[in-house]
Amino acid sequence: MFLGGFATFAMVYSTQPLLPLLANDFGVSAASASLTVSATAAGLALMLIPGSVLADRIGRQQVMKISLAIAAVLALATAVVPDFTALLVLRALLGAVLAGLPAAAMAYIGEEVAVSAQARAMGLYIAGNALGGMSGRFVSALLTDWSSWRWALGVIGVLGLVSAIVFWRRLPASRHFIPRAATPARIFRDTVAIYRDPGLPLLFLVAFLAMGAFVGLYNFLGFRLQAAPYALGQTAIGAIFLLYLVGTWASALSGRLAERQGRRKVLWMMVTVMGAGLALTLAAPLWVIIAGVGVFTFGFFAAHALASGWVGRRAGERRALASALYLTSYYFGASVIGTVAGTAWAAWHWPGLAALLGACLLATLIAALLLRRLPPPADTPR
């Protein structure tokens, strides 16, 4: 599961540090180049719920294996695209296909791993997600400096293919899976009940806005740092994604803080931390910008860990669908705000981009403060 999560998010985010280069090679704008990330995120968002329904019917293992194998072939194909349109189509299909793995992963772990080991297993899977996202960005940037972006995406595709082969051969068979018919009527009733909860729609809004701001910042950071006066190369820009390691620490720390203080008292603070980091990126010195990105990354991962865990607490028996709706909002935020941020960058450069992302964070803070005032559901921890 660690390997599956690693390969999934290495393929999803492999083009993010290459956006300035793709814009130059294909003669498109920065906003258009960012669609190579946004289209993949949109594909993921659209197919998460269908993927979870399919996994309920034919099995978690089959859905995850097929998803990873087809995605690896699509990732390889992105290295030889003839034009930008073909690249966008393949990236969108990549996201749609890959949705099967995160849609089924948590249910598979819950069914097949002993209760005493589930927390560790889930931790390994999430660590694979984070490490894959970071490594895919860094490796693609590094290889592009040595050769070209086509070779970089090809190597990421080979990595995905090897991972798919190992995943296919080594993933233990499902022994506790019971097929369930998820009828449209039941899904509709559960969705209505979820959106009637006073807290869950606010948590979905937090996911949409926070992830959108996060992807928007990282999408266009490379454009800023590649230009004068910084003139950083691809490898140096890719190395900034190593700040994801800060996010891994933040997720663990936020969990401990939530245990002591309660999510409602910590979430709004972490959104404020994101705002402080964003403000630092407005400075001119490179070291202050990087420090700001680190602070922003810390706040984002902490807020995401708190909000995603809170969804399961509030949703009760509908937690599977609620989690899918949370992730759908999460990836739609990456797609929509991640692309709109390109318009702000084109018109007003970094100050305009920061203003847009700041507005997103202000709305996120308001949602977090509203969540703070809500009482927890009966028999549910804070």
Nearest 5°: phi and psi at 375? -75, 150
- Given this model, what pLDDT does residue 205 score? 97
pTM reported for the whole predicted model: 0.86
Rounded CA gap, 342 and 141, in Å? 20
Question: Going residue by residue through the chain (382 aa), what tens digit of pLDDT does each one get?
Answer: 889 999 999 999 999 999 999 999 999 999 999 999 999 999 999 999 898 888 878 888 999 999 999 999 999 999 999 999 999 999 999 999 999 998 888 778 877 888 777 656 766 787 788 889 899 999 999 999 898 999 999 999 999 999 999 999 999 888 877 776 667 888 888 899 999 999 999 999 999 999 999 999 999 999 999 999 999 988 899 899 888 888 777 877 877 787 788 788 899 999 999 999 999 999 999 999 999 999 999 999 889 888 887 887 788 777 778 888 998 999 999 999 999 999 999 999 999 999 999 999 999 999 999 999 887 665 454 4
Cα torsion for 137, 209, 106, 72, to the nearest 10°? -30
User: What's the pLDDT at 379?
Assistant: 47
DSSP-H helix ranges across the chain: 2-12, 19-26, 30-33, 35-58, 60-77, 84-98, 100-112, 115-146, 149-170, 184-196, 200-226, 234-239, 244-261, 263-280, 286-315, 319-373
Residue 14: predicted pLDDT: 94
User: 261 Cβ partners below 8 Å, 6+ apart?
Assistant: none
Tell me what pLDDT residue 182 has: 67
Q: Please tell me the predicted confidence (pLDDT) of residue 378.
A: 56
Domain boundaries 185-373, CATH class: mainly alpha
The CA distance from 101 to 51, in Å, is 8
How many angstroms separate the most distant Cα atoms in the chain? Answer: 59
- CATH 1.20.1250.20 occupies which residues in the chain? 1-168, 185-373
Quote the pLDDT of residue 123.
Answer: 65
Report domain 1-168's class: mainly alpha
For 138, 245, 302, 309, the CA distances from 297, given in Å and listed in that order, are 16, 9, 8, 18
